[in-house]
Amino acid sequence: MIRLDSHNVTQSAVGAEHGLDLMAVFSQYQATLKNDIGQLWSNKDVSGAWSRWLALGENTQLAQSITAYANKVKGQFEHLVVIGIGGSSLGGIAMFEALLPSYWNEQSSATRKGYPRYYFVDNVDPDKLAGLLSVLDLKRTLVNVISKSGTTAETMAGYLWLKEKLAEAVGAENLSKHIVVTTDPQKGILRKIVKKEGLTAFEVPDDVGGRFSVFSAVGLLPAALLGIPIDEILRGVRELTPTLQSSDIHENLAAQGALIQYLLYKKGKHISVFMPYSAKLAFVADWYVQLWAESLGKKYNLEKAVVHEGPTPIKAVGVTDQHSQVQLFNEGPFDKVFTFVRLDRFDHTVEIPNLYPEIADLSYLGGQTFETLLQAEGDATRASLTQNQRPNVTLYLPQLDAYHFGQLLFLLEVQTALMGSLLQVDPFDQPGVELAKQYTYGLMGRPGFEHLKAELTEKQPAILRQ
Ligand code: PA5
């Protein structure tokens, strides 16, 4: 199982000013957290509470129907293009990078066991899109378009673009074999298109927000299309659930994580650095950044008072960022709390050869493994941060597989929800994304949004690009 080591946030590790008396705060917050945990899980099946993501691990039936579809299309496609943005893409990207062999797209078909290469369209940069088109064999391409709302401009533009290209390549009559949609069961333009055109579709269930949707068809469908064992992901989630439901803070890792983040935030550590010591987990940091930022950065609290609350998440990757951000982390302001993610073991052993035995300052590396080097660097960075009184926790995974990957993301989701409770903000809405979205609609001429274009061009011309 996943483990949490929080020793390095204690006062004995980082001093009274920057650390916590964990035993004291655990007992001080036991009642509050018991209430928050109970409240969270009691909302699991409540309509309108946006907490159905807590139940996604139980949905083995969904996993079966996704697997059946993935088996049916296996071998037919050389390229899988996933079109989505934010919560509709970041979990998938994190999953593929973590769980597929590295350099997947460059691997032979035999190494990929006949599963396709994959590409994400999560941006509308025309240069990137043109580049993608130049590598796709459209006749052998499957497109999974993912949008809960079915209206997101970036995703829908990508869909319109690729649908037209596909139609040109395979003919309108064959188009439906090349498109699979993931969207709301009832609402939105995409659902209408699915019904009208008879496309294959999976659901983003009711009351599951984008950034909490990775264990729904949003993440599981593309994962299954690439041969990732999705039942193992869900088993990991299910087997961690009792721990995360526990009202005893000494058992509940997500509650511990949330409380530590909350109390350190209140001590002025407004930046939450997420730093996996595994290059394959680098994209989990991107997923975490969105989860933390969109869930916790809020103008209003639950009482509707203006609070402008929210810790700023930062992505860092061990060992790469030791030569980039760690200088700041060690010597800059005391405004950060760190979450490391470590693996007990890696899948591959790669030795460093001893090519210069006569040069002692180089030959010490020879005969050792890259895993030993990476783990030593992880320990060293953590030790230096602790010595410099920078509080940090470490999440340990026994290994990087589907089971533990599911546990890592689920723990972070529950931690985020509990952090929302402690901060007294709603972690499941994102009103701050709306204004720019609506201005975009206005600038792009969407009916009903003309007044926003007028507002921007007439009242705020200086804001617009010159
Ligand atoms: O987490 C969220 O709710 C957002 O990041 C959404 O996932 C993102 O805006 C995409 O929305 P949709 O899936 O409706 O296209």
Q: In whole angstroms, what is the distance from residue 461 CA to residue 211 CA?
A: 34
Contacts of 287 (CB under 8 A, 6+ apart): 90, 91, 93, 94, 214, 409
**144 touches 220 (CB < 8 A):** no
Contacts of 150 (CB under 8 A, 6+ apart): 156, 183, 184, 187, 188, 189, 190, 191, 192
Tell me how far CA of residue 301 lies from CA of 50, 189, 215, 297, 424, in angstroms. Answer: 17, 32, 28, 10, 6
pLDDT band at 454 (very low <50, low <70, confident <90, very high): confident
Average pLDDT on 17-45 reads 96
Per-residue b or e along 73-110, where b marks 16 or more CB atoms closer than 10 Å to that residue's CB: beeebbbbbbbbbbbbbbbbbbbbbbbbeeebeeeeee
Average pLDDT on 137-163 reads 97
Ligand 1 atom closest to the CA of 154, numbered from 1:
15
Q: Specify the pLDDT at position 461.
A: 66
Catalytic residue check, 168: no
Whole-prediction pTM: 0.96
Write down all domains in the chain, each with its CATH number in brackets: 3-42+233-423 (3.40.50.10490), 52-228 (3.40.50.10490)
Q: Which of 180-184, 273-277, 405-409, 444-448 comes out lowest in average pLDDT?
A: 444-448
Residue nearest atom 12 of ligand 1, based on CA coordinates: 147
**389 touches 12 (CB < 8 A):** no
Mutate to test the pocket of ligand 1, among 148, 151, 187, 441 (most ligand atoms within 8 A of CB): 148
**Tens digit of pLDDT for each residue in 242-282?**
999 999 999 999 999 999 999 999 999 999 999 999 999 99
**265 touches 311 (CB < 8 A):** yes
Q: Which of 298-307, 400-409, 447-456 comes out lowest in average pLDDT?
A: 447-456
pLDDT band at 434 (very low <50, low <70, confident <90, very high): confident
89 lines ligand 1 (CB under 6 A): no
Q: In whole angstroms, what is the distance from residue 339 CA to residue 329 CA?
A: 12
Average pLDDT on 92-103 reads 98
Residue nearest atom 15 of ligand 1, based on CA coordinates: 147
Q: In whole angstroms, what is the distance from residue 317 CA to residue 324 CA?
A: 10
158 lines ligand 1 (CB under 6 A): no
Q: Specify the pLDDT at position 398.
A: 98
The whole-angstrom distance between residue 331's C-alpha and the CA centroid of its chain comes to 29
Question: Distance from the CA of 89 to the center of ligand 1, in angstroms?
Answer: 9
Question: Distance from the CA of 210 to the center of ligand 1, in angstroms?
Answer: 5
DSSP single-letter state for residue 249: T
Average pLDDT on 277-290 reads 98
What are residue 394's DSSP bridge partners?
5, 340
Q: Specify the pLDDT at position 458.
A: 81
43 lines ligand 1 (CB under 6 A): no
Please say if the pLDDT value at position 466 is more than 70: no
**Tens digit of pLDDT for each residue in 38-87?**
999 999 989 899 999 999 999 999 999 999 999 999 999 999 999 999 99
Catalytic residue check, 197: no
pLDDT band at 317 (very low <50, low <70, confident <90, very high): very high
155 lines ligand 1 (CB under 6 A): yes
**Tens digit of pLDDT for each residue in 333-382?**
999 999 999 999 999 999 999 999 999 999 999 999 999 999 999 999 99
Q: Specify the pLDDT at position 463.
A: 73
Please say if the pLDDT value at position 327 is more than 90: yes
86 lines ligand 1 (CB under 6 A): yes
- Catalytic residue selected from 177, 299, 437, 453: 437
Question: Distance from the CA of 451 to the center of ligand 1, in angstroms?
Answer: 24
